[in-house]
Structure 1
Amino acid sequence: MSGGALPSDWAPSFAAVPRSAFLPELMWPFDMGAGTSVAVSRADDPATWYGYADADVPVVTQWDDGKHTGTEPGQVSTSSASMPSVVFRMLRDLDVHPGNRVLEVGTGTGWNAALLAHRTGAGNVVTVEVDGAVTEQARASLKRFGAAVRVIHGDGYEGYAEGAPYDRIIVTAGVRHIPFAWVEQARPGGLIVAPWGTHYGNGDTVARLAVAQDGGSASGSFTGPVEFMKLRAQRLSPVVHSDYVTGGPEDRDASSTDLTEDVFLGDRFSPQRFAVSLRVPHCHHVIAEKRDGARPVWLYGLTDRSWACVMFRDGDTARVWQSGPRRLWDEAEAAYRWWESEGKPGHERFGLTVTAEAQAAWLDEPEASWPV
């Protein structure tokens, strides 16, 4: 179930704290074969319910910020229990020890907090959840299980200063900006583990940041790609295509590129996508469905109405159209070429530094950073 990621010293906690103790009666696990979320009721089909509870799949526990009703999946998943293998990886990165004080941002079901409490000891874990209903459900589950965790209903973006300082801070929602409050609430030398990314796409990469001894910054490398629901304060508003693509052919520049779809995009968690996301700021990309051997990829500027489209075609040269103050495809292609020239680095060669004023990404060394 762990995909080889389970540290041996965590084994007693995972044996003592099953995920099934924190999942609701009705849940929506992701069926890998079907490629979609499916409704499973413990009352109606306990064997299937427990099978998914023990499987290495993500499980949606809330849709549409709680507005959803019924058994069919809703529009947007807004709370979940992560894949156990992802939980294992992030707890390994956190390097938490008995007696450590831990702040968790994003309580969800409460399972992760219960694992941390088993590891660190009673009274050492504070968890913050922004959704009131999710907070109450997690609080009840933790109490029923007997886990001594302090559950706070609030905005985890602000941390929880009352319980500071913390030895470790772990975030279970994707973030686009690391608030300096988390750095301030961690001890010098403490660790912050958070899924981080840019608005270029929905993917995240786990940042493992060590807080400087003077408390003025936190910095560290990424450990690998993941994908989380985004912190509610940092969700990207929907990009409306028609707000960007206006006018006629005379309002856009046409060109071509010798980059192919496979080379530029790779797969969902390819390092080149991550590299491009770091080098092309304030941009969102959308990969459209492939039809008749053609796939358009759209780039939208988030600070103006610049846009670009590259049309990849099987066996043919890709065509490019761009419009607006920025030439977004030129920026994206230059970012890809840079990644290629640097030896096609993986996620682990990149890092992030956070100060009170800014956050900056870097490759190999923090001294060679750029703002993100």
Structure 2
Amino acid sequence: MSTEEQAAACGLLRALGEELGPLGPELAAAFRRVPRHMFLPREVWLDEEGDWVSCARDAEPARWLAAAYADAPVVTQVNDGEKARDGEVWPSSSASAPSIVFRMLRMLGPRPGDRILEIGTGTGWTAGLLAALLGDENVTTVDVDPALTEAAVRSLKALGLRPAVATADGAGGFPSSAPYDRIIATCSVRRLPYAWVEQTRPGGIVLTPWETPWFCYGLLRLHVGGDGVASGRFAPHSAFMLMRGQRTDLRIYRDVVRDEHIPKESATGLDPWLVAGADADARFAVGLRLPDVWHAWHHRPDVPGVATRLWLATTDATSWAAVDWDGTPDAREYTVWQYGDRRLWDEAEAAYKWWAGQGRPPVGRFGLTVTPDGGRAWLDDPSRSWVL
């Protein structure tokens, strides 16, 4: 590495130690063995006031290197690798923030000799770290995008690392190399594929970022039993791109609301920002209680007397609701519109009040149990569960 690259890497290592505590000799050695900048493409995209702006290594080497060694995610692909349409740019793959990568490695707890499957190769950096920790022969990584796996193989080989890299839909795991002692996903899921449980040895671990249509947040660490059941708790502080096979592309005015819809009007005294605002614990709980409902904020809609509107809709686009704030400071009442077979604001209000009535539990008190028949979320104990 160049002097500039070495200095940047040392700075990130110090930052990780401050954020996570000492990494320990094994993780620190893997970090030095597998430099992050070696896994980033020559063009990345950085967030500039809400817009994704290209940053090319050849044109802006200092800015590119700073992004490579910042403790922040870096977008490495946009629009699934296709050209932008109508100027719309949206992230489709990224290099996760280094602190979350190392936190997940600690949560995964790989032991010498463990066989690991990674779902979501991305840049290949996590696979490289795992190979440095456990040996090439114990690491398999898969990604659905051949452009990503091909680039990852090149980066890994440049460092003398040769874990098994395959282009495949990670929702099916990778049965030809199963069973595994640990499975780690670097994309979020809304439904945990049971294939991951089937391909993990009894006593093994499945670790994945979690998402509901309501809120992308949390890590799920499951212990796999010998009875085909996996169960474990959520942990906070993560947000990953959703597994491609579980994406939904829905927009309120394009897919949900129609001119012929006649909603029913009512009112609520519950502040919509409490249900869908800054409180991550509340949003996480509402998402678990309403696993097929999503929301979107619309500020300054072209509606007389409405300053901000909160939209809610089902993922099948058959029911929707809107909650309007008229701009009055410390408002005590909000207008509600609801359409369809379900009264979504009523459901969201009930979910929030249930969470508040349970003592406002944080994310870590929730868990999930996965069986061949599906998943059940729970609070504190699997006996207090509901179908997810």
State the partner residue of 1:167.
Answer: 181
CA distance in 2 between partners of 1:358 and 1:326 (Å)? 23
| Runs of 4+ more than 6 Å apart | none
How far is 1:160 from its partner?
0.5
2:163 pairs, out of 139, 144, 149, with 149
Match of residue 327, structure 1, among 337, 343, 350: 343
| Greater CA drift, 315-324 or 134-143 | 315-324
> What TM-score, normalized by structure 1, do the two folds share?
0.92
Match in the other structure for 2:136: 122
Q: Which residue of 1 aligns with 2:6?
A: none
* Superposition pairs of residues 13-52 of structure 1, within 5 angstroms: 13-31=30-48, 34-52=49-67
- Residue 260 of structure 1 aligns with an amino acid whose one-letter code is D
Contact 2:275/2:286 (CA < 8 Å) preserved in 1? Answer: no
User: 1:44-88: per-residue Cα shift (whole Å, max 9, x none)?
Assistant: 222211111100121111111111379x98522111101112212
Query: Could you tell me how far apart the structure 2 residues matched to 1:137 and 1:248 are?
Result: 49
Larger deviation, residues 240-249 vs 350-359: 240-249
- Decide whether the 8 Å contact of 1:296 with 1:310 is kept in 2: yes
Q: How far apart are the structure 1 equivalents of 2:95 and 2:306?
A: 37
C-alpha distance in structure 1 between counterparts of 2:81 and 2:182, whole Å: 30
1:228 to 235, 240, 243: 240
Which of 268, 272, 280 pairs up with 1:257? 268
Structure 2 CA distance for partners of 1:11 and 1:212, relative to 1, 3 Å: same
> How much has 1:6 moved relative to structure 2?
5.5
Identical-pair percentage: 45
- Unaligned stretches of 5+ in structure 2? 1-14
Q: Name the CA shift for 1:7/1:153 in 2 (closer, same or farther; >3 Å).
A: farther
Q: Cα offset for 1:304?
A: 5.4
For residues 258-306 of structure 1, give each alpha carbon's deviation from its aligned partner in whole angstroms, at most 9, with x where no partner exists. Answer: 2224422331x61111111111232121122357983211111224521
Alpha carbons of 1:6 and 1:79: their partners in 2 closer, same or farther (altered >3 Å)? farther
Q: How many residues align?
A: 365
The residue matched to 2:212 in structure 1 has which SS?
coil
Cα RMSD of the aligned pairs, angstroms, is 2.2
Q: Find the aligned partners of 1:261 and 1:327 in 2 and give their Cα distance.
A: 15
In the alignment, what sits opposite 1:351? 367
Show the counterpart of 2:376. Answer: 360
Assess if the C-alpha contact under 8 Å between 2:36 and 2:125 holds in 1.
yes
Kindly provide the CA deviation profile for residues 307-362 of structure 1, in whole angstroms up to 9, marking residues without a partner as x: 11111343322111111110000000000000000111111111111111111110
Cα distance, 1:7 vs. partner? Answer: 5.3
Unmatched runs of 5 consecutive residues or more in structure 1: none
1:154 Cα deviation from its structure 2 partner: 0.8
Cα distance in 1, alignment partners of residues 65 and 95 from structure 2: 14
Rate the CA distance shift 1:274–1:152 in 2: closer, same or farther, 3 A: same
CA contact (8 A) 2:307 2:324 kept: yes
1:209-238 C-alpha deviation (Å, 9 max, x unpaired): 110133x11110001132211111110132
Alpha-carbon deviations, 1:148-174, whole Å to 9, x = none? 211001111110011111111000111
